[in-house]
Structure 1
Amino acid sequence: MGIDVGTFETKGVLVGVDGVVHARARRRHGISTPRQGYVEQDAELVWWSDFAAVSSELASAAAALDGVVAAVGCSAIGPCVLPVDTDLKPLRPGILYGIDTRASREIGDLESRLGLKEIVRRSGNTLTSQSAGPKIAWIAQNEPRIAATTRCYLSAHGYLVARLTGRATMDHGTAGYFHPLYDLDRQCWDTTGCEDIVRDEQLPELGWATDVAGTVTGEASVLTGLPTGTPVIFGAVDAPAEAVGASVVNPGDLMLMYGSSTYMIKVTEAPLRGEVLWSAPYVFPGTFVLAAGTSTAGTLTRWAGDVLEPDRAVNDEELFAGLLTLAEGSPPGARGLLLLPHFSGERTPVHDPASRGALIGLSLEHGRSDIARAIMEGVAHSIAHAFSAYASAGETPERVIAVGGGTKNRIFTQSVSDITGASQTVAVTDGAALGDAALAAFAIGRLEDRDRIKEWVELGQSIEADTARSVVLCADHEDYRELYRSLKDLNARRTERLHGE
């Protein structure tokens, strides 16, 4: 069984050892934004409630098939920060990954305290909104009572594993984003210089995603339908699990995940230190990733649907299909409109939480179709901008696999190839949930080696750059980069003035 808790939806699958999916289940949920830059979810009411419901449904399906759940793998959004008490109960809502930008001041404080050179030496990365360490520092600074009573800081899937097994664990891949608290070379916690923020004993036991963390307890069995004693693996953040579920398992492979935000993972044989791409261990011992991410993708098209199609009382699939049809009424280049899609700041390659969205080129001749097209192409420009960081680092991918709900958006995928020149192959897969199940099968020896995981994944259409569209969109991409540079200082001043930071 594999279950993934995403930003807006939880999905689960029941998979045979041959890779055939026998049952699926899902639940919808939302996020909480108590103030600008803060993005949270309730660990009990969202993460665990969804997991228990999906697991119960899949366990019933297994029983109907006269089958036994041999092992469980789970993944979730991350890196998140969730303080729990001695009973592993949450002390506050979970603080989400890089889309939560509350810890900007703490990033500066940690850089002053440790020095940029030491942070990069230790963590392999600079500090950004994707870093969990500054968010722990934010709790210590702003919620000292919670910090003082925290038994352990978990990530989202770590909380699920804790509820299932009673153990506080974290995989190395997730810990690699808890900079500056994780030593990338030694692959262990290192809180040197941060002892007043977090104690060593407040960080979870480390292991690999494919290690068995424990077995399902009697209490968890009642709530999830899983048999007592079922092995549970350490698991991973959703993006690595998604990569596994897309057959991205060998060095040179890159996953491009079109989701609520966009995330990229390139598998490498060694870590690469730098200030732009994130380096961390992968799910298998001896493998690493170079990762990149944007702040908006699906979240922006959802916003666009609400604004441009406010009277359409339809489900998400119909809303996005209608928005795509609307956008296709405008030609490539959106008749001169250009969008900076930094509605929640931006991550790779600029790492600028103060950046904000902008739409330029408007005239009285433009209509809803042009605006819709500009929004989708703006997302593609941000993806291409992040993708370019790999070539800048000398790490151009050998194979690009596209996954996620956004692959259904033809403008997204085609525009990215047109701007970057990269070919993409779309994986027909159940995504992170399938990856979770594959990692669980690998952990208990049902898959002998990681190459066998590729047999579980179907590869679909290939997307190639179109010469005519490339001419238009590559010219726009240069303007996109210039637009960001032109607005950077203005956005920083306005953000400071609006929020007093």
Structure 2
Amino acid sequence: MKYVIGVDLGTSAVKILLVNQAGEVVQEVSKDYPLIHEKTGYSEQDPKQWVDQTVAGLSDLLKDFKGNPEEIEGISFSGQMHGLVLLDDQGEVLRNAILWNDTRTTAQCRHIYDVVGEEKLLAITKNPALEGFTLPKLLWVKEHEPEIFEKAKTFVLPKDYLRYKLTGELHMEYSDAAGTLLLDISEKVWSKEICELLGIDEKLCPPLVDSHEKVGNITSEIAEATGLSTSTNVFAGGADNACGAIGSGILEDGKTLCSIGTSGVVLSYESSNEKDFEGKVHYFNHGAPNAYYTMGVTLAAGYSLSWFKNVFAKDESFEELISEVGTVPPGSNGLLFTPYVAGERTPHADAAIRASFIGMDSSHERKDFVRAVMEGITFSLNESLAIFRESGKQIDTIVSTGGGTKNADWLQMQADIFNARILKLSSEQGPGMGAAMIAAFGCGWFDSMKECADAFLQVEKEFVPNASHVTTYKELFSLYKEVYGQTKTLNEKLIAYRK
């Protein structure tokens, strides 16, 4: 039997999957590592922790592996996007990595718009300047830590650094490079123009490769530390969302992913780079060859439900909390919720906006509030789908993953609000499976990513829209979209009273 390994380098842990040629997860290992919050808005990690914990995880996996290590033909990676890792001329880390969820770079985002211009930035990178992206972090270090910036020979993203330490070869692949604000998305090259305008030496940008490209083999040192064979081929991998798309079979036009975790993501396949979303949604290179994806983000998707549970049902399980939502009609008996408990990203990039319950009266019970929260999360995700559809995209099939798949009522709610067929996969491994599929494709097991997805992924259940519910939700969605504008000024005035 032949095997591949998918490594998913997340924000809180690295997850490692051993997958056989039938697409079955034979072994699974997870190792966590800490976040570093030195100040409000700062979020960092020590890259050495990523390497140490991945090596420890691979070692645990190989200890329990009954086959020959040489049967593990390939390994690839998924990773948290945008994080800045600065390396010196010896390939050593110069400072802690600044992560995707670090928000210290508001001034640098304004500087990018002032110097490059919003229109030009969107034309080149197809994305707005947001604090989470890599370029603002690079400019922050240049301004606030000039002695470190002067020593920098190159920068990479988290999973690229991990791969470098496993192979000795330094690259960045397109799906992650697209999240730096330095990549010309259409031309698939670093933007000389942006680098020159912002005073960044283009030589800082590492060589670019495709996600499925072989970039080396496991080094002898790593082989000795883990039990892997030096014959194991290493493939570049992809950004977590790109790998999540691959691991969910989002590999052809019309296919879309809805992933509800702490945040929520709606991601849709694009076969070309020709559409212009005017920065309303993200537009990135896919991990699949010569493809792209558009993506909208709800900052507090599952987090909104977690918040509600922690405040109003702390001693209950999620299953108990949502057990009665099926008894509440669509519209939650006139109760509407906007899931802005931590601000919002798409379509409102607004850190100041906050959540609202609209329409409360004394007849409402807790189950009405719970359903309203779930509907509000789904309405927010539907705003991204509406942007896709307004651009001419046909969206008929949505693969749902994450916390939103744990409850059949929520899956039906998604079908009704999205007005699309919802698929629940039998095995949900997301980005880690996507990384393993990149390795399988890179090893030549399949002629295409889609062929790999057809072999590896199976649908467990399907939910189709209820026509009467679709009509109700279309009316409610129109009301939902009014709440942001009606509450924006109020929330800005309330900032002074927040702790």
TM-score normalised to structure 1 length = 0.88
Aligned residue in 2 for 1:55: 58
Aligned residue in 1 for 2:142: 140
3-state SS in 1 of match to 2:71: coil
Which of 407, 410, 417 is matched with 1:409 structurally? 407
Q: Deviations over 1:182-230 (max 9, x none)?
A: 1123211124354455322222221011011222223323444322342
Equivalent residue runs for 1:267-306 within 5 Å: 267-271=269-273, 272-273=275-276, 274-306=278-310
CA contact (8 A) 2:99 2:132 kept: no
Distance 1:118 1:83 in 2: 27
Q: Deviations over 1:265-292 (max 9, x none)?
A: 3222211233212222212332222222
Q: CA deviation at 1:231?
A: 1.7
Q: CA deviation at 1:89?
A: 4.1
Between 189-198 and 150-159, the greater mean CA deviation after superposition: 189-198
CA contact (8 A) 1:153 1:203 kept: yes
Distance 1:328 1:259 in 2: 21
Q: CA deviation at 1:493?
A: 5.4
Distance 2:381 2:92 in 1: 37
Q: CA deviation at 1:251?
A: 3.2
Distance 2:10 2:459 in 1: 23
Q: 1:118 to 1:15 in 2, by over 3 A?
A: same
Between 234-243 and 338-347, the greater mean CA deviation after superposition: 338-347
Amino acid of the structure 2 residue aligned with 1:53: A
3-state SS in 2 of match to 1:474: helix
Distance 1:63 1:81 in 2: 38
Distance 1:246 1:431 in 2: 6
Q: 1:232 to 1:202 in 2, by over 3 A?
A: same
Q: 1:308 to 1:146 in 2, by over 3 A?
A: farther
CA contact (8 A) 1:137 1:197 kept: no
Aligned residue in 1 for 2:461: 461
Q: 1:63 to 1:130 in 2, by over 3 A?
A: same
Distance 1:73 1:311 in 2: 40
Is structure 2 residue 72 aligned with structure 1 residue 73?
Answer: no
Q: CA deviation at 1:175?
A: 0.9
Q: 1:203 to 1:362 in 2, by over 3 A?
A: same
Q: Deviations over 1:114-171 (max 9, x none)?
A: 1122112211233234533223223323333333333332222112112211233211
Which of 368, 371, 383 is matched with 1:370 structurally? 368
Aligned residue in 1 for 2:488: 488
Aligned residue in 1 for 2:235: 233
Aligned residue in 2 for 1:391: 389
| Structure 1: gaps (5+ residues) | 313-318
Identity %: 25
Equivalent residue runs for 1:21-420 within 5 Å: 21-28=25-32, 31=35, 34-45=38-49, 47-64=50-67, 68-97=71-100, 99-179=101-181, 181-195=182-196, 196=198, 198-271=200-273, 272-273=275-276, 274-311=278-315, 319-325=317-323, 327=325, 330-420=328-418
CA contact (8 A) 1:88 1:162 kept: no
Distance 1:449 1:307 in 2: 47
Q: Deviations over 1:339-380 (max 9, x none)?
A: 221233222222223322233334455454333333222211
CA contact (8 A) 2:281 2:347 kept: yes
CA contact (8 A) 1:71 1:441 kept: yes
Distance 1:146 1:491 in 2: 39
Q: CA deviation at 1:80?
A: 2.4
Q: 1:79 to 1:397 in 2, by over 3 A?
A: farther
Q: Deviations over 1:300-321 (max 9, x none)?
A: 3333332233345xxxxxx332
CA contact (8 A) 1:84 1:151 kept: yes
Q: CA deviation at 1:79?
A: 2.8
Distance 2:297 2:343 in 1: 12
Q: CA deviation at 1:496?
A: 8.4
Amino acid of the structure 2 residue aligned with 1:185: S
Task: Provide the alpha-carbon RMSD of the alignment.
Answer: 2.8
Q: CA deviation at 1:421?
A: 1.0
Aligned residue in 2 for 1:435: 434
Distance 1:158 1:136 in 2: 16
CA contact (8 A) 2:338 2:483 kept: yes
Distance 1:36 1:378 in 2: 28
Between 453-462 and 288-297, the greater mean CA deviation after superposition: 288-297
CA contact (8 A) 1:42 1:93 kept: yes
Distance 2:162 2:92 in 1: 11
Aligned residue in 1 for 2:420: 422
CA contact (8 A) 1:379 1:412 kept: no
3-state SS in 1 of match to 2:74: coil
Distance 1:122 1:52 in 2: 38
Q: CA deviation at 1:241?
A: 0.9
Amino acid of the structure 1 residue aligned with 2:339: P
CA contact (8 A) 2:84 2:97 kept: yes
Aligned residues: 490
Aligned residue in 2 for 1:316: none
Give 4+ residue runs of structure 1 displaced > 6 Å after superposition. 496-499
Distance 1:495 1:157 in 2: 37
3-state SS in 1 of match to 2:295: strand
| Structure 2: gaps (5+ residues) | none
Distance 2:481 2:472 in 1: 15
Q: 1:20 to 1:270 in 2, by over 3 A?
A: same
Q: 1:304 to 1:92 in 2, by over 3 A?
A: farther
Amino acid of the structure 1 residue aligned with 2:430: G
CA contact (8 A) 2:260 2:403 kept: yes
Distance 2:105 2:34 in 1: 22
3-state SS in 2 of match to 1:71: strand
Distance 1:448 1:58 in 2: 28
CA contact (8 A) 1:161 1:213 kept: no
Distance 1:129 1:4 in 2: 23
TM-score normalised to structure 2 length = 0.88
Q: CA deviation at 1:234?
A: 0.9
CA contact (8 A) 1:400 1:425 kept: yes
Q: CA deviation at 1:387?
A: 1.4
CA contact (8 A) 2:347 2:384 kept: yes
